Structure 1
Amino acid sequence: MHAMNEVVVIGGGYAGVMAANRMTKRADVRVTLINPREVFVPRLRMHQVVGGTHEGVVDYRDVLAEGVRLVVGSVTRIDAADRRVLLAEGDSIAYDYLIYAVGSGNAAPPVPGVSEFAYPVATLEAARRLRSVLFDTPSAAAVTVVGGGPAGVETAAELAGQGRAVTLVCGDALVAYLHPKARRTAHRYLAKLGVTVIEGRAAAVTKVTAEAVELADGRTLASAVTIWSAGFGVPDLATQSGLSTDAAGRLLTDETLTSVDDERIVAAGDSSAPSDLPFRMSAYSAYCLGAHAADTLLHRIAGEQPEPIDMSFPAMCLSFGRDAGIYQLGHKNETGMRLYFSGSVGKKLKEVACSAGIKHLATEAEKPGSHHWFSDGKHRPTLLAQRGSAATPVA
């Protein structure tokens, strides 16, 4: 009888769940998933949680393979030498292999007043808190959303669609990934919803108070509720555990997603930095990276050589309230194509994308190893060559 391989997955988001499900492909693997919450959170829905049009939770029974043990708790340290993770509750769990998929959350921007007076939206708890604050705020009160990425744009549109007076401060450009043609469409949608868009470097936020937002060009915007969606941060678990990370705290790996410090540790999702060149943060990237991280361990357990990751970010989808959306197709070098879908078609494609992520996880739970993605061997080698580096990162 073969000994069981104990695999611990830290993080129950798109990457962690996909990896955990895929690991059940082998009968001699026992998987434990550790997550702070007892429910799965589809991060693509946080703007809807804020607006009260979606609860933003999915039962783990709907996405997690039956053979995976779910432990609700928080890991405070990884003891790589002893192959053990320590939990906040004081317990510890031993592992033979570890999948690091802790995801991302609210950033801590060095702007005066943000931590005291602004409301983040990156996590379920933050989105719920903001929803409660807005419930107690008159609908005519000024709302300012800081951040021109998908989270900021979708939150601004969601609230404006409910009749709120919203100003969106988006720095250099509105959703930098969009093709200029699609960006013009996005501006039209926001204008139709009544959102005031302020962009450009002079519009950078320099201070937030309880009642206003101050900009670099000297303007002061009245703001009863200020929402901060500019950037994400990753947990410092890898750093605190003495593992090599990039400047943002992501776990440094090679192109197989294996930690540069320990071949028994792999990383996936927002908290991973293959060759110090992270993939674009997205649900799609996360569950594809989760699948590849699992494949790396499955190869290693089988005594086979793991393969390098080959994946790209194929599209970005945005919703503008409940009636319109943009589905922007992208090149493999992660620039937006001229081709995009808008209006009700874009909205439907956005909803399909949101639902597809959950469906992929559920399918992988039933048929581990079934998830596939497009690859042609061209994307990562090109980017790495442009960086003037080999596939091995520098710690």
Structure 2
Amino acid sequence: MPGQATPHKVIVIGGGYAGTVAANHLRMRTDVDIALVNPRPKFVDRIRLHQFVAGTGDATVDYGTLLGEGIQLVVDSATRIDTAARIVQLASGRALDYDHVIYAVGSTAATPSISGAAEFAFPIAEFESAQRLRARLDELPLDAPVTVVGGGPTGIETAAELVEQGRTVTLVCGGILMPSLSAPGRRYAAKWLSRHGVTVLEADKVAEVRPDAVVLASGAVRPSVLTIWTTGFGVPELATESGMRTDALGRLLTDETLTSIDDARIVATGDAAAPSGQPLRMSCQGAGALGAQAADTVLSHIAGTEPAVIDQALLGTCVSLGRRAGIRQLTRKDDIAVNLYIGGRAGARIKEMTCKIGMGKIRREARKPGSLVWPKGGPRPEQPTSVAPVVP
């Protein structure tokens, strides 16, 4: 229409929990063109990847059920952000121009430095690696020895899911079993794993991975026809390759409004953001709220107003133990566990409900932008709140 204002072009790079919420939240303004760039045509529900591997659940969701009207899904990979030209370059050769970018590339599996791990161990952090792992499991008899490396939530959930399927599983923790749990919560998890047949090696570390065995730091050799690597995370190198400053892991450095310290048109969120150099714990719980807050920051930049600093608390952890048990660990607002957890079938129901609520919040945000609520009041460092404002 004549005289109609030119829409503000916002590109969201990454279609995980944070990016999808951010794209939907941006629709609070009607004069924003939103493109969501993601390398896969479907949403990956990463907190269900251990179920996908074991064959007890799906881990993909159609974006058509998650994205609000008018959001363009671009199935491609961003290879560089040209901040001078304000262009996002894609692997296909396309280039998308932008007024603002929400950097939501998420996290990936880290390449392990342990001898043989990169060649012979199977990661589980991404859908493609989970597909390869599931195909390998399908080739193995149930009594084939399987080793899961990593005593965090992914390692525990994977070991529990597989042992419940009748697999022979050893869990090598490399330290304390899930240290973020309270002592009572850890005891409960350890007892469940032991009672169901998982051999838990809490203090042992893997020194070498072989095609048919793992070598522990003690020198002991344990048979392992399949080794699953669940420890360590990294982030894509897009920010570094685009010339922006990052932390040691590669997360984009931002101020407390999630605005890049290098370019005020770039706002980061989710696992790939490092506000004040102190990122929140990588989690689905944190990602959705950070996505909404990143979108609010962009909307403030467009409006020419001062964006709010992030305000978010993390209030617990859910860990599944197969399909019939789980743990809901309660924490303070600073994410420190208290000596209170809910276990057993009730814990399993809470975990399943939490997974469904996560998807439900994204769908609700698609229907009603701005509807997402989250717990607030978590501690953040005293830092300057923002960088130079963007001219709309």
Query: Would you call these one fold, judging by a TM-score over 0.5?
Result: yes
Residue in 2 that maps onto 1:372: 373
Residue in 1 that maps onto 2:353: 352
Answer whether contact 1:275 1:391 (CA < 8 A) is retained. no
Q: Deviations over 1:63-112 (max 9, x none)?
A: 11121000000011110111110011111000000000000111101111
Which runs of structure 2 are paired with 1:170-209 in the superposition (5 Å)?
170-200=173-203, 203-209=204-210
Give every structure 1 segment of 4 or more consecutive aligned residues whose post-TM-superposition deviation is greater than 2 Å: 389-393
Which one-letter code corresponds to 2:87 in the other structure?
Answer: R
For residue 93 of structure 1, give the secondary structure of its aligned residue in structure 2.
Answer: strand
1:322 maps onto 2:320 in alignment:
no
Answer whether contact 1:146 1:230 (CA < 8 A) is retained. yes
Residue in 1 that maps onto 2:390: none
Q: What is the alpha-carbon distance in structure 2 between the residues aligned to residue 96 and residue 392 of structure 1?
A: 18
1:34 maps onto 2:37 in alignment:
yes
Which one-letter code corresponds to 2:40 in the other structure?
Answer: R
1:305 maps onto 2:309 in alignment:
no
Q: Deviations over 1:126-183 (max 9, x none)?
A: 1111111011011101000001111111000000001111000011111111000010
Q: Deviations over 1:168-225 (max 9, x none)?
A: 001111111100001000011111210000012xx12111010111111111111000
Q: What is the alpha-carbon distance in structure 2 between the residues aligned to residue 2 and residue 372 of structure 1?
A: 31
Q: What is the alpha-carbon distance in structure 2 between the residues aligned to residue 111 and residue 312 of structure 1?
A: 35
The offset of 1:55, in angstroms, is 2.0
Q: What is the alpha-carbon distance in structure 1 between the residues aligned to residue 107 and residue 339 of structure 2?
A: 30
Work out which of the residue numbers 153, 160, 165 in structure 1 matches 2:168. Answer: 165
Residue in 2 that maps onto 1:249: 250
Equivalent pairs counted in the alignment come to: 384
Unaligned runs of 5+ in 1: none
For residue 22 of structure 1, give the secondary structure of its aligned residue in structure 2.
Answer: helix
Residue in 1 that maps onto 2:152: 149
Which one-letter code corresponds to 2:55 in the other structure?
Answer: G
Residue in 1 that maps onto 2:332: 331
Q: What is the alpha-carbon distance in structure 2 between the residues aligned to residue 283 and residue 331 of structure 1?
A: 18
Distance 1:391 1:197, change over 3 A: farther
For residue 78 of structure 1, give the secondary structure of its aligned residue in structure 2.
Answer: strand
Which one-letter code corresponds to 1:379 in the other structure?
Answer: P
The offset of 1:28, in angstroms, is 0.8
For residue 183 of structure 1, give the secondary structure of its aligned residue in structure 2.
Answer: helix
Which one-letter code corresponds to 1:289 in the other structure?
Answer: L
Q: What is the alpha-carbon distance in structure 2 between the residues aligned to residue 148 and residue 390 of structure 1?
A: 37
Q: What is the alpha-carbon distance in structure 1 between the residues aligned to residue 372 and residue 384 of structure 2?
A: 28
Which one-letter code corresponds to 1:282 in the other structure?
Answer: S
Residue in 2 that maps onto 1:48: 51
Residue in 2 that maps onto 1:22: 25
Which runs of structure 2 are paired with 1:245-284 in the superposition (5 Å)?
245-284=246-285
Which one-letter code corresponds to 2:98 in the other structure?
Answer: Y
1:240 maps onto 2:223 in alignment:
no
Distance 1:391 1:183, change over 3 A: farther
Answer whether contact 2:54 2:134 (CA < 8 A) is retained. yes
Answer whether contact 1:275 1:392 (CA < 8 A) is retained. no
Q: What is the alpha-carbon distance in structure 2 between the residues aligned to residue 141 and residue 252 of structure 1?
A: 45
TM-score (norm 1): 0.95
Which runs of structure 2 are paired with 1:105-116 in the superposition (5 Å)?
105-116=108-119
Distance 1:301 1:390, change over 3 A: closer
The offset of 1:392, in angstroms, is 7.5
Residue in 1 that maps onto 2:69: 66
Work out which of the residue numbers 2, 16, 19 in structure 2 matches 1:13. Answer: 16
For residue 208 of structure 1, give the secondary structure of its aligned residue in structure 2.
Answer: strand
Which one-letter code corresponds to 2:197 in the other structure?
Answer: G
Q: Deviations over 1:344-382 (max 9, x none)?
A: 000000001100110000000000011011223x511xx
Answer whether contact 1:12 1:34 (CA < 8 A) is retained. yes
Q: What is the alpha-carbon distance in structure 2 between the residues aligned to residue 302 and residue 277 of structure 1?
A: 28
TM-score (norm 2): 0.96
The offset of 1:291, in angstroms, is 0.4
Residue in 2 that maps onto 1:290: 291
Work out which of the residue numbers 93, 96, 100 in structure 1 matches 2:99. Answer: 96
Which one-letter code corresponds to 2:379 in the other structure?
Answer: H
For residue 163 of structure 1, give the secondary structure of its aligned residue in structure 2.
Answer: coil
Of all paired residues, the percent bearing the same amino acid is 52
Unaligned runs of 5+ in 2: 388-392
Answer whether contact 2:255 2:384 (CA < 8 A) is retained. no
Answer whether contact 1:40 1:57 (CA < 8 A) is retained. yes
